[in-house]
Amino acid sequence: MEDKTNVMRMLDQKKIPYKSHYYGHTGAVSGADVADVLGEDPDAVFKTLVTAGKSRSYYVFVIPVTRELDLKKAAKAVGEKSVEMIKSKELLPLTGYIHGGCSPIGMKKFFRTTVDISAANCETICVSAGKIGYQIEISPEDLKKVIKYEMKDLTV
């Protein structure tokens, strides 16, 4: 049975249209596997990565699951000398989400968010709904109604 996640409740509250997908995994699976299970184009399924900059600020990057974050491009996108991925154990206390279930929507605190420019070519993108096994499909425009973000070239 599919439950509503906090992300879904937040979107419902703001009356923002989305489609929920449930794929029933309990452990973290690769994004490519998620795209496959959902029958979605892997270029339209995005993962949420949290980084720390040299200035000790945190940044969120949302990129296609089959791509890798280019740390140099990411740093440049947010005006930092460098950024690095945060450790898995830092994710939950910082964002309220666990590895494999991190959503750009509804983190404990809002961090500057940048979405890969490739999302501009997608009618809708899938992102985590804040829980492993749950994804939401949302248009990039509707995503902008719930979180502020910029679009930049972020991947290798």
User: Is 29 inside any structural domain?
Assistant: yes
* pLDDT higher than threshold 80 for residue 29: no
Task: State how far the Cα of 62 lies from the Cα of 39, in Å rounded to an integer.
Answer: 20
Q: What is the mean pLDDT of residues 25-41?
A: 80
Rg of the chain over all Cα atoms, to the nearest angstrom: 14
**Tokens 């499909």 map to which residue?**
137
Q: Is residue 34 part of a domain?
A: yes
Report the domain count for the chain.
1
Q: What is the CATH number of the domain that holds 41?
A: 3.90.960.10
pTM: 0.95
Asked if the structure places residue 45 within a domain, the reply is yes
Per-residue CA distances from 24 to 2, 43, 92, 96 (Å):
9, 21, 21, 21
Which amino acid is located at 7 in the chain?
V
Answer yes or no: is 1 within a domain. no
Q: 141: Cβ–Cβ under 8 A, 6 or more apart, which residues?
A: none
Residue 19 lies in a domain: yes
Higher pLDDT, 89 or 24: 89
Assess if residue 62 is contained within a domain. Answer: yes
Per the domain annotation, does 37 fall within a domain? Answer: yes
Nearest by Cα to 83 from 58, 111, 48, 47: 58
In this prediction, residue 32 carries a pLDDT of 86
Whether residue 25 is contained in a domain is answered as yes
Domain residues for 12? Answer: 6-152
**Structure confidence at residue 23 (pLDDT):** 85
User: What is the average pLDDT across 91-108?
Assistant: 95
